Structure 1
Amino acid sequence: MKKTNGLLLVFTLMMSLFLAACSGSSDSDTSSSENEGNDSSGSAEQVLHLTEGAEIPTMDSSLTIDALAAQWLGSTKDGLYRLGKDGETEPGIAKNHDVSDDGLTWTFHLRDDAKWSNGDPVTAKDFVFAWQRAIDPDTGSEYGPYMMDGVIKNAEEVSKGDMPVDKLGVKAVDDYTFEVTLKKPIPYFESMTAFGTFLPLNEKFVKDKGDQYAMEADGLLSNGPFIMKEWNHGEGWTLEKNPDYWDADKVKLDKITVKVVKDTASAVNLYETDAVDRVGLSSEFVDEYRSSDEFKVEEEPTVFFLKMNQNSKVLSNLNARKAIQMVVDRESMANVILNNGSIAANGYMPQNFVKHPESGEDFRKINGDLVQSDVDKAKELWNKAKKELGIEKADLRYLGGDTEVAKNLDAYIKDQLEQLDGLTVKVESVPFKVRLKRDEEMDYDIENYGWGPDYIDPNTFLNLWVTDGGNNKTGYSSKEYDALIKKAGDELAQKPVERFEAFLKAEKMLVQEDAVIAPLYQRAKAQLWKPYVKNVTANPMGPDYTYKYAYIEK
């Protein structure tokens, strides 16, 4: 979620659909101080002003699939665990947990002082309801089955309608004891519980609101650091400190305001006039501000690539897909078009994300470059594909974003692709919410797409592409690939070295052999941050940033 992370953004830097998860590194902290014991200036107004490049599609945690929603859900709600300093999990509603010897039963002990913003206590029943709702096929959640199938006992059977939702392996032992039974040992399950799909829901409130739940600010409940007080669709939203939050003493900000600004120049102007405290920079602004003390670059474990719809006659051809992989000059794209610290991606797994459990070597370094930019070779493969398809010309629809930077990048990629003789690419720039829908319906030929981790494990990237996977949406189906991912999740689950090797093989199959995607770049963010904003932490998954401990010091 990707964010993703989907798994999942500052959308003025957003070039394409980024699901679920967010990304970043602790190097982006605006203060080096620790979370505990921070204090803010007694005289400074504790208000943080931000921009985003798009509207939040939905704040319903059962239905969200994007990083923008993940950010603001993570700011207004606590799950069992949440992300704290350096992106590490820290206690949320769960004080702690126990795991059975076989790794299958997780018992979470909940705090008894957590409340919803309407005064109701947060209990184990709120987690049972939320998790059952997310897996219920009547809900239509993408992430419920994606995150729970094969992980929680009976999840797959429930999501397919073969079992009732009350058979899902979750139980409220009592008001403050929540028990989860897994289908198999999941070594990274604690980090999964910090993801948006697993946030609790107040059943009475959700049912009372009906189809108006999470559609407006008054259709939301908070149990986290902040409450969404205003939500002016298309314009922005306002969060205020939650006075009844169980950890309210640690929250220094009184308010966060967010404006929707799609144009980078307009956002930079707001920053220069002190109307906002952070701005994402597109390439034309990077050189201007690179020497500024307020300039920051964050490398993220987020990879962008071209999805190719194999239901298209042209893209059903392997040589056509390989030609598209090879024709784009990724180095120039990263260094000139983006110019924000992003690096060319010659594989799918991001660098500096996961390491071999024995040698400690980075996954990306072990697998090396799986694609190379080679226009002559690309043209050769393209001509071969045309002969195999019996065509001379091809028209492909390219699904992209409607922000200024997205349009610039998509125009560059269009020019690169049209180096292939007879290929015409029609770029369709649409709002983010429309892109989510069109991706779900596979209404595209080529799509500029991004993925960040939902948890810290190679599986969060590689299990996307199993047959009929909720986030596959390419028509790709390989029994061999499916078997490899299943093996990594089942019989190799407690054999870390062999499991890692299986993932290495899966990436080579996905990119090098089957050319399912065309890697583009690993994202970095070039930004300006006001120096008085302290203690904001960037996360490797889930919400892009943790604002719980942020404060203003002037």
Structure 2
Amino acid sequence: MKRRALALLCAGILAVGMLAGCGGSSDKKDSSAKTEDTKKEAKSDGTFTFALNYMPNSLQPSAQSSDDLVSAIRPIYEPLFAETKDGLEYYLADKLDISEDGLTYTLHINDKATWSDGEPVTVKDIKFTIDYGVLVYGGPTSFTKVNGGEVQINEIDDKTMEFVLPSVYDNYVRTLSQFYPMPAHAFDNDPSKINDSTYFKTPGMATSGAYVVSEINEDSFVYTARDDYYRGTPSVKKVVIKTIGSGSTKQIEFENGGIDYMRVTSAEDLKKYKEESDKYNMYSISEARLNYLQLNPHGPVMSTLSQDARKAIFLALDKDAIVDFAWGSNELAEPANSLITPDQSIYNKDCKGYNFNLEEAKKLAKSSGLEGKELTYIYNSDRANMEAVATVVQQQLAEIGVTVNIESCDTSTFFPRFFASKDKELATTWDLGTNGWDSQRGSNCGQAISYFTNRLCDCGYSDEVSGLAQKAIGTADAKEKQELWNTIQDKALEECWEYPLTYTNFVMVSQKNVTGLDGSSVVPEFIDYLSIHVD
């Protein structure tokens, strides 16, 4: 009854708009089996249509910076492999060997992989793309430098490349998984020709994926299936990607049949589309994303408060109530217990997290001087459910005598503030805020290392936590690595800087004639177009 009352109160607050705006071998998964399973002849001439929130101004595969751009690139350019909860899912590569000492990574390119113009995909394309990154950034990149030392890159033959690390760096698998090669032959193997070229802005570019670009319009891309794609023949012969906005606009377009699927982020829509199973199909995969609440060590008020004050804030939060109100269903999001996701092998299911304890929170708020303070809370209004989360947090902290002033930011204004530890003017404009890490899957810590070591921004973690994280990514022994990460997950929470809110699921609804959207467990969607069928 208490949670229901809270939900009604929060709903009323949302309705009146009180929010202010602020502007060994790593081939754990058998790639050959996957290729054979998905290699099917076309069964229809279906067209698969989906929507983006905005139109990227280029389809250059090395320029991925948003979910929309990644989704636009996926049908035409492929990674070497993808990390999943169960191991590596291979694409342009068909094997990755890692030496026992964790220093040598040997990458094998699929012998059948070709560009759409008939040229083979080779290690020259990988080296070309790496060199382009160095040129753009004006120095070493994560591919060429690890732990301050140079990575030695050796071309063994046309289809085999070796990376020799100066020291163990467990995240190098993740680095390679995010790599999308570009066609070296299209630029005479000269990366300096890319930036002044319109190559990736016009149809006819050489692609490595299942489709080629046949049209680039002001508000849409049109891709046509390749008949020489090395992994098989796509059932879907045409992919149309268009911009129609987001929210209700996208939903109206979907229900009118203008697009073939969309993401579902509310319990109301989830219930609605489930009840119309004669018209729609539902899909759900783990997004492997952690949504979290960050306390800002540079905040105008937070910087003056003690660890007990931070602990009071976290003990006052009832994450079950937050999930109930903001998502409305555990099918959309589940309460998180750790700052590592369950899709990462280093995740510790026994990590205790924070237990809601209002009475203890009140005592700590009073004794630490937190009671009576006003805190500024920022969130990204372009991300689903974040407004509702902010509203519930505001109400829960009011229970311990803390006033929370909420500021809504769009993406362009949110991130410069949230990650502004080096910009002292922006860094001191907020005390707490919510964000979501990129999808975290596989056998390493992924993006989390940037937080635990305060690299991406100053998250407040101690030298002890940072040191343990550095030691963990430099450890080749699996048992020792797991023990370290178990310790890190507990100690990071003890310091009370980041509160793990939820692990979200990527729930989709499609038209009834569309199937196979869950053919791959990787988002942004879709990495494996051979699984999609439109009848």
TM range (shorter): 0.7 to 0.9
Q: In the aligned structure 2, how far is the partner of 1:267 from the partner of 1:299?
A: 22
Alignment counterpart, residue 447 of structure 1, candidates 419, 433, 446 = 433
Shift of 1:417: 4.2
Please say if 1:463 is aligned against 2:469: no
Q: Which residue is equivalent to 1:180?
A: 163
The DSSP-based 3-state class of the residue aligned with 1:546 is coil
Q: What amino acid does structure 2 have at the position aligned with 1:50?
A: F
Residues 145-294 of structure 1: pairs in structure 2 closer than 5 A: 145=142, 148=143, 154-157=145-148, 168-184=151-167, 193=176, 195-197=177-179, 199-200=181-182, 202=184, 204=189, 207-210=192-195, 216=201, 222-228=207-213, 237-241=220-224, 243=226, 246-247=229-230, 249-281=232-264, 282-293=266-277, 294=281
- Taking the aligned partners of 1:518 and 1:527, their CA distance within structure 2 comes to 27
SS of residue matched to 1:76: coil
Check whether the contact 2:87–2:443 (CA below 8 A) recurs between aligned residues: no
User: How far did residue 394 of structure 1 move?
Assistant: 2.6
Shift of 1:505: 0.9
Q: Measure, in 1, the Cα distance between the counterparts of 2:322 and 2:48.
A: 33
**1:303 and 2:290 correspond:** yes
Contact in 2 for aligned 1:534/1:551 (Cα 8 Å): yes
Displacement of 1:184 in angstroms is 4.2
Structure 2: which 5+ runs fail to align? 1-33
Q: Could you tell me how far 1:338 is from its partner in structure 2?
A: 0.7
| CA RMSD between the two structures | 3.9
1:398 aligns with 2:378: yes
Matched AA of 2:151: L
Alignment match, 2:462: 478
RCO higher in 1 or 2 (8 Å CA, sep ≥ 6)? 1
Helix, strand or coil at the partner of 1:480: helix
State the match for 1:498 in structure 2: 480
Structure 1 residues 210, 54: closer, same or farther in 2, change over 3 A? closer
Structure 2 CA distance for aligned equivalents of residues 127 and 383 of structure 1? 58
The residue type equivalent to 1:207 in the other structure is S
Whichever residue aligns with residue 323 of structure 2, its letter is A
SS of structure 1 residue aligned to 2:401: coil
TM-score normalized by structure 2? 0.76
Q: How does 1:263-412 map to 2 (within 5 A)?
A: 263-281=246-264, 282-293=266-277, 294-316=281-303, 317=305, 318-340=307-329, 341=331, 342-351=333-342, 353-354=344-345, 363-367=347-351, 369-386=352-369, 392-402=372-382, 405-412=385-392
1:434-490 CA distances to partner (integer Å, 9 max, x unpaired)?
Answer: 5444444354633321124454125225423243423xx234242211221222233
Give the conservation status (yes or no) of the 8 Å contact 1:454–1:541. no
1:35 aligned to 27, 34, 37, which one? 37
Contact 1:286 1:339 in 2 (8 A): no
Give the TM-score, by structure 1 length.
0.74
**Alpha-carbon contact 1:70-1:196 (below 8 Å) kept:** no
Counterpart AA for 2:209: G
Query: After the TM superposition, which residues 53-132 of structure 1 pair with which residues of structure 2 at under 5 Å, given as runs?
Result: 53=53, 62=62, 64-82=64-82, 89-96=88-95, 98-100=97-99, 102-111=101-110, 114-117=113-116, 121-132=120-131
Task: Give the Cα–Cα distance (whole angstroms) in 2 for the partners of residues 413 and 58 of structure 1.
Answer: 39
How far the C-alpha of 1:50 sits from its partner, in A, is 1.8
Query: What is the rounded CA distance, in whole Å, between the counterparts of 2:91 and 2:178 in structure 1?
Result: 13
Residue 537 of structure 1 pairs with residue 518 of structure 2: yes
Q: Which runs of structure 2 are paired with 1:15-30 in the superposition (5 Å)?
A: none
Gaps of 5+ in 1: 1-31, 159-166, 356-362
Letter in 1 for 2:376: L
Q: By how many angstroms is 1:62 displaced? A: 4.8
Q: Secondary structure at the match of 1:289?
A: helix
Q: Supply the distance in 2 between the matched residues of 1:72 and 1:323 (Cα, whole angstroms).
A: 44
- Alpha-carbon distance in 2 for matches of 1:241, 1:228: 6
Deviations 1:491-513 (A, max 9, x none): x422x2222121011011112x1
Letter in 1 for 2:378: Y
Separation in 1, partners of 2:356, 2:234: 48
Letter in 2 for 1:123: T
Deviation at 1:212? 6.7
Instruction: Decide whether the 8 Å contact of 2:47 with 2:236 is kept in 1.
Output: yes
Following the alignment from structure 1 to structure 2, what is the Cα–Cα distance between the partners of residues 346 and 428?
A: 26
Q: Could you say which structure has the larger radius of gyration?
A: 2
After superposition, the Cα gap between the structure-2 partners of 1:60 and 1:506, relative to the gap in structure 1 and judged at 3 Å, is: farther
CA distance in 2, matches of 1:434, 1:250: 43
CA contact (8 A) 2:519 2:531 kept: no
Q: Secondary structure at the match of 2:79?
A: coil
1:13 paired residue number: none
Provide closer, same or farther for how the CA distance between residues 454 and 401 of structure 1 changes in structure 2, counting only shifts above 3 A. Answer: same
Distance 2:440 2:360 in 1: 36
Answer whether contact 2:147 2:169 (CA < 8 A) is retained.
Answer: no
SS in structure 2 opposite 1:323?
helix
The aligned residue for residue 11 of structure 2 is none
Q: Structure 1 stretch 296-305 or stretch 48-57: which is displaced more?
A: 48-57
